Chain A
Amino acid sequence: MKIIFIIFKKEILDILRDTKSVLVMLVLPLLAFPLLTQLVTKLSISHKNESETRLLKVGLISNNNAKQLATLLQERKDININLNIDLNKLNKYIDDKKSDIIIVVSKDFDTQTINNFTGNIDLYYKTSSESSITKNRIIQIIDEFKETLLNNRLKEKGLNKEFITPIKINHIDIASVKEKLGEYLGRVVPYVFIIFCFMGASYPSVDIGVGEKERCTIETLLTSPVNRMQIVMGKFFVITFTGLVSACLSIVGAYYAFSNATDLNKDVLKGLVKIIEIKSILLTLSLLIPLCVLFASILLAISIWAKSTKEANSLITPFNFIVFIPIVIAALPGVEFNSITALVPVLNVSLATKEIIAGTMKITLLIKVFASLFLYAAASLYFCTKWFEKDDIILRGI
């Protein structure tokens, strides 16, 4: 055991002295989420603010109808209205960005509305990230106009507003904030920690596996008085450890990003605090251990077999997709955590995390997840050690 620890200590120190490894294993997982959320939030807020306040160029073809609407539009300081629009060149106005949106009031609008029929208004715009905000700003004004027309009609007929709303649906969602957030976070969190767990494990696995062959240190190690099992275990523990550290740091980063998200409302923040219970964190982390073991043994086996770093990377890259697919499947609607999905590696961790966060985890399924993961991990570790004992594998490419 002492020899394994000596090898472990050496490998950790070696990896920590490699700037690239430190960036991939420690810095990236810790900062990725806070930086990404800050960037996305800042950009989307500034974009939203700009779209909501900027001066809109609105074209209006009123056909001498809906004068009240024209007045409402003209009164707005955030709208620059153009009344001289050629009906045949509507698309060109929008394409040339002379107008953001064009309102065309039907020729019979007044006649229709006076006679209590429906008047038509056409809105011309081009779909883009901004168009929905622009459209909503105009629809708000039209709705104001619509409300006035409707109130006039009801007043004329001596009716109150309830006349046109025979049914009112009241939505009472019995899911707690914790459950609602759990459903959402349960989809996001596995993305974060499983991906970073794999990434944190894959980089050192290449460095301390095939990297030893490339740097010609494997022969030096193999002729030292240690058996191959001790070497493989020392390396395996390092990869498992770095995978775990990366995953934990990504969770810390995600927690920091969420708890500092100023645009979250108080209910959401309260729910978040409830979710981040010690029990949930410990359970989630405990799921990570067998997953890291599984990743580490597979990655080390690949790395040992490879002739070069290039070959190892080209073999490991497809595994990113293999890991990614179950996480995506877990986020799909209708995919349930049951006794079958509890046996599928990665998918089971993703689904179990969702249940843990939502506080709806069934203990029998959790046991199944642990049992299956440990079984896969043990099998892959056994395979990895056998692999390491084969001369033609260990000396492949030397």
Chain B
Amino acid sequence: MIEIRNVSKGFKTTKKQRNEMEVPKKIIDAVSEVNLVCKPGRIFSLLGPNGAGKTTLLRMVATMIHPDNGSISVNGFDTVKESQKVRRSIGFLTGGTSLYLRFTVEENIKFFSDLYKIEKDEYNKRKKQLFDILGINDFANKKFGKLSSGMKRKAFIAKTLIHDPEVLIFDEATAGLDVITSRNIVSVIKDYKNRGKTVIFSTHIMGEADLLSDDLAIIYKGKIVFNNTFESFKENMETRSLESEFIKYVSDEL
């Protein structure tokens, strides 16, 4: 369960950034007064165009950054006061992150499992399961830096799931991936949902949200402009396609 209550986050801007963005403010609001609840056994999609505040919000959920105002609890733990407990219960997969290039896939996974203090037997069991499901065995002993982007993403998924987290956070996890690897990620997300875990994923592609979502929130310029079930989103559509309906929410003419 993830509960986000009245969360705001601002970032200091440099003079250069202010000139480039034509924003006079020294602090810009990346996320503003956001309220969301992601329930276990359901897939929550956070949809928004680039720069809408999705990554900032998910980074706050993952304890990488702290909110300026409001609070976030993950599995009942506060992200600021009990950040280590939060990190122990989440699996965070983003499109832009990587593992250690000079380490093999197995060494990478072992390193992170040591940080999660997973017992040796449990580690071996989970490693075998994940390597079989994701088809990692063939390249488990290859250096991460020598792998193709699809292999890298599979290895990263294995790292994300090695401690069997209660909450999965996927930030643009399928961006730039081929169909097969994307399908792998989608199947992982569905599997976690079926096991009663909480899943939140961000995307700017409506098709992805359509494929997976139980609940949907649309974020635009740091503010939540839609927050309900995906069913209600579809039912109340004023335009012909999901894409057009999404654009309606993230358009300044609204």
Contact = CB atoms under 8 A, between A and B. Distances in A.
Contacts of A14: 100, 102-103
A220 interface: yes
Interface string A326-353: 0000000000000000000000000000
Interface residues on B, range: 20 to 34
Contacts, number: 68
Contact of B102 (A18, A223, A392, A395): A18
A45 B103 CA distance: 48
Nearest to B98: A216
A225 B89 CA distance: 9
A226 B115 contact: yes
B170 interface: no
B63 interface: yes
B94 A395 contact: no
Which range holds the interface residue count of chain A?
20 to 34
B65 A395 contact: yes
Nearest to A7: B115
Contacts of A215: 98, 100-101
Contact of A392 (B11, B84, B96): B11
A227 B62 CA distance: 13
B122 to A, nearest CB: 15
B94 A219 contact: yes
Given A3-B115, A10-B111, A220 B11 contact: no
Interface in B57-101: 59, 62-66, 83-85, 87-88, 90, 92, 94, 96-101
A225 B64 contact: no
A20 B84 CA distance: 35
A6 interface: yes
B139 interface: no
Nearest to A391: B65
A216 B101 CA distance: 10
A97 interface: no
A227 B84 contact: yes
B146 to A, nearest CB: 12
A223 B87 contact: yes
A220 B62 CA distance: 10
Contacts of A3: 115
B87 A219 contact: no
Q: Which of B11, B62, B66, B102 has the most CB of A within 10 A?
A: B102
Ranked nearest first, the 5 interchain pairs of A and B with the lowest CB-CB distance are A17-B102, A225-B88, A223-B92, A216-B98, A225-B87
Given A17-B103, A223-B64, 6 more contacts: A10-B111, A13-B103, A216-B96, A223-B90, A225-B117, A391-B64
Interface of B: 11-12, 59, 62-66, 83-85, 87-88, 90, 92, 94, 96-103, 111-112, 114-117, 159
13 contacts: A6-B111, A6-B114, A14-B102, A14-B103, A217-B98, A217-B99, A217-B100, A219-B59, A219-B92, A219-B96, A220-B99, A223-B62, A225-B84
